[in-house]
Structures are given as structure tokens and as C-alpha cells.
Chains A and B, each alone.
Chain A
Amino acid sequence: MRVTKSIALASAGLLLATSLAAAQSTEIRIGVPLEPPALDPTAGAAEAIDVVVYQNVFEGLTRIDENGAVQPGLASSWTISDDGLTYRFSLNQGVTFHDGTSFEAEDVKFTFDRILAEDSVNAQKALYSSIADVSVIDPATVEFTLSQPDELFLFNIGRGDAVIVAPESADNNASMPIGTGPFAFLQWDRGSRVILEQYGPYWGEKPALTKASYVFIGDTGAMTNALLAGDIDGTYNFAAEALPIFESNPQFQVLVGTTEGETILSTNNAKPPFDQLEVRQAMAHAINRDEIVEGATYGFGVPIGSHFAPHHPYYLDLTGTYPFDPERARELLAEAGFPDGFSATLKLPPVAYARLSGQIIASEFAQVGIDLELINMEWAPWLEDVFANKDFDLTIISHVAPFDIGIYANPDYYFGYDNPQVQALNEELNATTDEARRKELAQELQTIIAQDAVNGFLFELAQTGVWNAKLEGMWKNAPVEGVVLRDIRWVE
């Protein structure tokens, strides 16, 4: 009986607590499926790091906006030399780090020297390899010299991997992140949540929120319950299968946006029988894209026919290149010397879209005689087997880097596609600054890899956020990883 009584008492206390929270309305609690192992975005690839700190705690010289466009960040403006090799940035004045030290050009140089150093552990070091030199002109001006033109340079320095850190605090950023952003790190209850609070002396426009907690909830069912019970105010990308619960509930809003994630049936092009064009074409014909989009993403994914994001201005719709046609697939297999089909393995990383797509594809391929053995793996062995050792036949993975068609020009990349024509086109694309010509080249690349059926092109992942209906200012799209707090506010 004592138990019942204490529950009743406890519930009274809880009701009180929730009504207080509602009255303040400058705090937010966001559900996050994965806890970051550390909070330094320049020394780890975990998406969860950027989700918490990107543009909140840390800022870069530029910043990426909701639609993927480059905006001024810590650099108020910049000039680019005619040859595209020299970038001169003017830095904002009066900017301080959260520990009170001031932000100056030296910090920029320190940040990039650290990224490019011999013993650097920056996960995206390769993105910054075109930087030949960073020099401090004066405390408010810094100049970058590139070894070759790089159209994505301004975008890349706006990513979480290149946020500006201070020499005084950089070593401790993993557990005690100190940046220049509108929110300062307050506390991290390991295994439970990270709390940020508004940074008073922030140099830019003050955000509406004063406090933000990121609550780590790994279980989809638990996240659903937490949303329904009001224990969290929203989550930025929720499991599609659970969305119907919230779509019909007026207390919630479901935001459907885009990501940069091309989800593909990655094919080991260097390994027989996948080195044969007919085999890859047969697989492309055996894929029922609509069924996969419906089954694996509940219709939220956008079908793709090549490795390019549908919302990008250079996008070319190539979904019709190899339409779903099991008959044609069997013919092509016979032509390739596999009249009875063949067996292969499909190694799947631990993400819902891959596991579901895998089961559907296995069922579809069985109809044309390709017998797939599904091998479900954890991340660590998947990365090692598939990515590092290229020991795989097929896998399903979403490539979330923006504008990453260049991976098809790297013959050492894990799917082993080696096409000199693609490599030449990509080189030209990188060196071209003329917009129209760039578009032409990008579309030519899309077409070639679609026709070569390099990989099975499935869908572009959608971003499906669930938020309290009284919140506004959340990013709908995910051009980069992050849950940016600056514009989020409560409205009545």
C-alpha cells in the first residue's frame, strides 16, 4: 500500500513540475537516438556530436543554412582571387569564446593547422587537403591559399569538422566543449543528457531559447512514449513507421524535409560477377524502387536513379534508366552467363532503412533467380569488412555527404568503380567555376554512373522531425548534420 501512496505523491509533484515548465517556455528538450561519445566535432565522425554542438556551441568561418546555402559565420565577408586559389576572410569583431578568451585570426590558423597536422585525428581531413597555407594578415583578417580550385571550399569550412576552436581549450573539447556559439555547454549527465544554456555575451543575434537539453533515447518505442507524455518536446528525425501516431495528433507537427543521404545498394564492382555490366543492369531491373521506398521509408524517401540529391539544382531524373522489369533482368542474367541466377551476400549495417530495404531486395532478387544471403552486422565490423577491407558483395548504405558524386572518380573507394571517363569529368568539374558548365558536367556524370548501374540507386533519405505543435524555427531539411537551435522558439 505504501507503494501506491508514494506513486500518488510523486504524480502530484510531477504535475506541478510540468505546469511550471510550460509557463517558462524558453527551454527545450530534444530527443536524440544516439549519445555522442565525446563532444569535439573536429575529432570524431559521430553524427551525434554535430547534432548537439554544431552552430550551437561551435561556429565555423562560414555557416550552412537550412537549405544548404553558405552564409557568413565568424567571417563577416570574404574575397576570392580570380584564379580561385586565394580566399581572404574578414572576421567579426568582439567575438569571445565561452571561457572569455577572445576570438582572433590566430585561432583560425590554429584550427586549420590542427586539422591538417601529421597526427590529426579529424575524420574529414581529406576535405581540407586543398588548403596549402593559412596566414594571419592581422587579428581580424586571415588568408587561405589553395593548391587547386575547390568549389566546395566555402561549404566545407562551414561544416562541423572545421569549427573554430581555441588553443587554450581545444584539448578539452571532448568533454568540456568551448566555442563561440550562442549556446554554452552547461553539463553532461553521461548516458542521459547534455544541457546547453544561452551564452550571454554572444556576438550575434540572441536566440529565443535560454536552455536546451538533448535527451538520449535509443529505443524507438521509448521515444514515442516520451513524445506522447511530453517528456521531450521533439526529435529531429524520427522512425517513419511511428509517424502516423503524430500526424493525426494536433499537439504535434511532423516536418518532412530533405537530407543529403543517397541510399544505395552498394555493389562491389571489382568482384565477379559484379564486374559485368549485364549483371549490374539485371540487378537494376530487378529492383522495385517504389516498393522499397514504401516498405523501408513508408513513402517518405524520394526515389533516385543516380547518385545525386533530387533537391539539388544540378539533379537529373534518371529513375527511368532501368525500370522495374524482372523479365528483362532474367534475360540479362542469361546473357551474362547466369541463366539460373547466382548467390551473393548482402551485408547490412545496423540501421532500420538498410535492414528493411535488405529484406525487400532479397525477396525481389529471389524472383529473378539471385539468391541473397542477408548478413546483419554491427557498425564496427561493417566498417572494417565493407569499407576498409572491401570484403563484400553487396551492402546498403546512405551516403550522407553533400555533393559527393566525386566518390565515383576514386577507383580505391570501397565499391571499386574504375572508369577513366568519370575520373576525367570529375576533375574538370572540380576545376570549373562556370555555373552552366558545372551543371552540364554534373549531369553527364550522373548519366554515366546511372547507365553503368554502378550501384543499385534506391532513394534519398527524408528527414522526418516530430515536434511539439507550439514550436517554430526548427530546420526541416538536413543539409548537414545538426539540430540548430538559433531560430527555435515557443509560440502560443
Chain B
Amino acid sequence: MSSRRILAHPGLVVGLTATAGFALLALVSLFWTPYPIGEVSIARRFALPSAEHWLGTDQLGRDMLSLVMSGTLTSFTVGSMAVVIGVGIGVPLGLAAAIYGGLVEWLVLRFSDLTFAFPAVVIAILIATLMGPGASNAIIAIGIFNVPVFAQVARGGTLTVSTLDFVGAARLAGLSRIGIAWRHLLPNIMSLIIVQGTIQLSLGILAEAGLSYIGLGTQPPETSLGLMLRDAQSLFLIHPSLSLVPGLAIVIIVIALNIAGDGLRDVLDPRLRSRRRADAAR
């Protein structure tokens, strides 16, 4: 895709810019935050925004800006690692189902049904409980539900693409099924996967917030936007900014990702647009 096509799409520009901004903020927190996030100081808690603390401090006197930076990193990490799990397992499954059909397809579809049939929230809670609460286990709990989503996207995309002329030509030229999948199918469904990836990423960030709300997501002294929001919930009437800052951060990030996803879909491959269960798969 050309840069002109990107620039011609204002939503995509806004979405990508905002996402990149937050991603940058998050990455910087790997090396530097204004204050260490574990540094508790009760004497300076609930400070209003000032030159020292741009966004003020929280109930333990920690710097809110540092927490937002680090929390964004955790939220992004959980969301994107869950996508990696979904893509890594789901896409090969979906491709295999489409290429081989028969029993393979039946098994993949049954697995898909099974995962959709499980009450997602209950299973996520069970997994988090089983493995102990924490960000890394939230990744698994969320990632499992990304697997059938990407399997379906890959399978659906492949079924559409494989009827196209060049696939038939490749088959005539004697390429093996795996060869076709690798050389022709995967690149063609890549755009679908990327689009779905941005959507699942945003859903993952929301899911992490939900898990954190019931106490099974990220655990202190680590922080995430969801955890910050939960900790501030009971203080909302006294110190609303503690809740507004992470809350708005989540809203903006999710919107940015969704807008970027919509834009990418338009720009990358308008032809395949109609085939998506994207929005449904929450």
C-alpha cells in the first residue's frame, strides 16, 4: 500500500498516530519513568497535578504519569500477547481446515464451537484462578479466546481467496498445498489478520481491565490501566482524577485501535471487507 492511500484516509492517520503515541509512551516506560512506579510515599499522596507530578499522585503517593506509562505498557502487552497466541495457533488451524477439509476441518470447527460454547468470562476467571492472578495469566486467559477468532478469519479468508484464479494457476503449476498456503494464501489473508489483530488487541485491553476489576488481572506492584481504574473506583467522588486519567486513556487507546483497524481494512483490501465476524467476536 502506498503512503498516499494511508494519508487519504483521515481515520487511519488519527488512529495510527494516537496508537503510536501511546505505544511510544509505553515503550519509554521500559527505560525511564519520571518516578519509579514502586516508590510509595504516603506523605505526598493525592497530590494535585504540579510541576513535579504532571498528573498528580495516587493513593499511595505514586506518580500518576509514571503509572499511566507503565500501565499502558502492561495493557498493550497483555492485549498484544493474547493476539500473538491467537494468531500463532488460530491461523495455522484455520489454514489447515480450509486446505485439507474433511476430518481436519471438522475437528477445527468442533474446537471452535467448543471454545465459543464455553462462557468466556467464566473460563477466563477459572484460568486466572487456577494459575494465580497476574498479567501473564491474563494473557493466556484472553489469548485462548483469540484462537477460534483467528482460525475462523483464516479459514474464511482462505476459502474466499482459494477460489481466485491465481490459486488455481498455482495448483496447476504443481505447487503442494502447504506451498500454496505459504506462498499465496497467507500473504493474501494477511490484511484480514492484521485488521482482526487490531480489533482483538483493543478487546484484549478491555478484557484485561475487566479481569483487573474482579481482581484477577495485573497485580501490584505492577500496574495496568485497568488496575488503576479499579483502584480508583471507590475514590471517584473524592479524587475523580485518579479514575478519569486511566479511564480516558483506555477509551482513547481502544478508539484509536478501532479507527486504525477500520482504516486498515479500507486501505489494505477493500475486496475482502465483507467477510468478517470481527465485530462479533467479543
Contacts and interface: CB of A to CB of B under 8 A. Distances in A.
Q: Are A and B in contact, CB atoms below 8 Å, in the complex? A: yes
Interface of A: 219-221, 224, 239, 241-242, 244-245, 291, 294-295, 350, 355-356, 358-360, 362-364, 366, 374-378, 381
B221 interface: yes
> Which of B41, B59, B221, B234 counts the most chain A CB atoms within 10 A?
B234
Given A244-B238, A374-B221, A363 B132 contact: no
A376 B133 contact: yes
Contacts of A294: 42
Chain B, interface size: which category? 20 to 34
B237 interface: yes
Contacts of A219: 233
B220 A363 contact: no
Given A295-B42, A362-B221, A366-B38, A241 B132 contact: no
B238 A245 contact: yes
A168 to B, nearest CB: 40
A363 B39 contact: yes
Contacts of A220: 233-234
Given A376-B133, A381-B132, A359 B220 contact: yes
B234 A242 contact: yes
Contacts of B132: 375, 377, 381
A378 B129 contact: yes
Interface of B: 38-43, 45, 59-61, 129, 132-134, 215, 219-221, 233-238
A363 B39 CA distance: 6
Contact of A291 (B42, B59, B220, B237): B42
B221 A241 contact: no
Contacts of A295: 40, 42, 45, 59-61
B151 to A, nearest CB: 32
A74 to B, nearest CB: 41
A221 B40 contact: no
A239 B59 CA distance: 13
A404 B129 CA distance: 32
Nearest to A376: B219
A221 B234 contact: yes
A384 B238 CA distance: 38
A437 to B, nearest CB: 42
A374 B221 CA distance: 7
Contacts of B60: 295, 356, 359-360
B42 A221 contact: no
A350 to B, nearest CB: 6
B234 A224 contact: yes
A359 B238 contact: no
10 closest Cβ pairs, A-B complex: A220-B234, A363-B40, A295-B42, A221-B233, A376-B219, A291-B42, A221-B234, A294-B42, A242-B234, A360-B40
Contacts of B41: 363
Contacts of A362: 38, 40, 221
Given A295-B45, A359-B40, A366-B38, A374 B219 contact: yes
Contacts of A224: 234, 237
A135 to B, nearest CB: 48
> Which of B45, B129, B133, B221 counts the most chain A CB atoms within 10 A?
B221
23 contacts: A220-B234, A221-B234, A221-B236, A239-B234, A241-B234, A242-B234, A242-B238, A291-B43, A295-B45, A295-B60, A295-B61, A355-B220, A356-B60, A359-B38, A359-B60, A362-B221, A363-B39, A363-B40, A363-B41, A364-B40, A374-B219, A376-B134, A381-B132
Contacts of B237: 224, 242, 245
B36 to A, nearest CB: 9
